[in-house]
Each structure stands twice: as C-alpha cells, then as structure tokens.
Amino acid sequence: MSHILRYFYTPCLSLLLILSPHFAKADLPQSPLDAGILLAQADPTADPFADYSEFEETAEEEKDINFFKNGRFFTIGLIFGARDFTENLASIGDTATPFGILLSYFFDLRFAMQFSYITGDHNLRFTGESGTPVSVTTGLSQFSIDFKYYFNTQNVTKGLADLNPYLIAGFGQVERDSSEDGNFRLVKDSNLGVNIGVGLEIPILQRDMYMGAQVAYHVVNFEDENTEITLNDSEPTGIYPTGDLITYTAVIGVNF
C-alpha cells in the first residue's frame, strides 16, 4: 500500500510545484509595467522654478544686453525750425520760427516717450471791409506728450544702417496769446490738440549726440474758428480763423 501511495505522490508533488508560480501570480496584484501602464517619473535635475521655455529667457537676456550696450536711456535736445498754418489762417498768417526743448525717455530700442515745449509768434495781417489794415501778433506755445516708434534699419545698406527713422504721435496743450500791434490784448485761450508726424535722427560724436529733423501736423480747434473776425466788434472782415498747424523742426540732442 505504501508503495502505491509513493507511486502517485511523487508525480502530484511535481505537478504542484510546476503550477504553484501561476497560482501565486494570479493572486497577487500586477505591477504597472506588467499591465502596460507607465508612470511619470520626476527628473531630479529639473528646476521647479525655471520658465516654461529657456529659449524665451535667452532671447530676453540678449535683448536687454543689446539695449544696455547700444541703446539710450533718455535724450535732451533743443528744437528750432518753422511753423505754418493751414486753411484760412495760412492766407493771413506768416511763418513763425519757433524754438523749444525736449526730453525723451526710452523703454527699449524701439519705443520712447517724449515731452516737448515749443513756442513762437505769428503775424496775422488782414483788412476790414472799409480797407482798414490790421496786424495782429499771435503767440502760440505748445506742451506735448508724444510716443515715438523707431524702425529697425539693421538689415538695410550699411550707409543707411545708422539712420533712425521714426513715427511720432501724441497730444499737446496749445496756448494762444494775441495782441494788435502790441497795444492791447485780444485773445488769450488754450485748447488740446493731436500730433502726428515722422522724423529722422543721425548719431554724431560716437553716438553721444544726434541731429534730427521732424515734420509734424497738429490738429487743434479753438473756440472762435467758426466766428468771423470783426474790427472794433462792428466792422466785418469776412475771415474765419480756421486752420491747424504744421511744424518743420530740427533737433540737436545729447544721449544718456
């Protein structure tokens, strides 16, 4: 009897040993790798405070280095030139020779904010219906806040690369003070205007200074533009003082 049991016991034990790993594997939970699931692992060398793109950070650093090396923080300049009227004022007024000062603050190589003050006198000459000649001196002073955008000229011909063309736009407060032959005051008022223009700057003295030229159009509307000019409040002239301002100015400035 023991011989028969030994005969069946040995094959059964061998079969149990063969099948036991499969039963154990079926009972235990499978690892993520066996199930085909990949878990994200943190890179121990990664900087959690780094920007999303290192290329953007490098570009910003290069831009700042270029600005500190080749750019300007602010400029101070003197303004002088000519100023004319448009429309009806152009027919009775002569050209003035205004002068003033400016201060420009640069945000980067392309954008700047400019504060400027310019003043000058115009002579207005006209006659009444009876032929009475009249000469009026009109002083115009303008304080402006403008924004300037400089074009990139690095990719043009070498001879033009040092030029700095720009667009300028902003607004200004225009004050008017008029008197007839300096005897008595006729008008003293002010109004807000809009400025738009173009300009060009050329560096000199190893970029420590610059010379520039600018043409600007100033839209300004005074209260009496639709009121006829009369002499002694009774004699009509048939002239309505409508018109805006155009300035042609040169600038010499110092860079800081």
pTM of the entire predicted model:
0.71
In a domain, 77, yes or no: yes
In a domain, 204, yes or no: yes
Per-residue pLDDT of 144-189, as tens digits, reads: 999 999 988 766 655 565 788 999 999 999 999 888 765 555 678 8
Phi-psi region of 29 (alpha: psi -120 to 50; beta: other; left: phi over 0): beta
In a domain, 110, yes or no: yes
Q: Which two tokens stand for residue 57?
A: 């950070």
In a domain, 172, yes or no: yes
Question: How buried is 18 (Cβ within 10 angstroms: 0-12 exposed, 13-18 middle, 19+ buried)?
Answer: exposed
| Mean pLDDT, rounded, for 215-241 | 87
| Predicted local confidence at residue 84, as pLDDT | 97
The parent domain of residue 175 ranges over 73-255
CATH number of the domain residue 214 falls in = 2.40.160.20
In a domain, 217, yes or no: yes
Per the structure, the count of domains in the chain is: 1
Helix (H, G, I), strand (E, B) or coil at 196: strand
Do 251 and 214 meet the contact criterion of CB atoms below 8 Å apart? yes
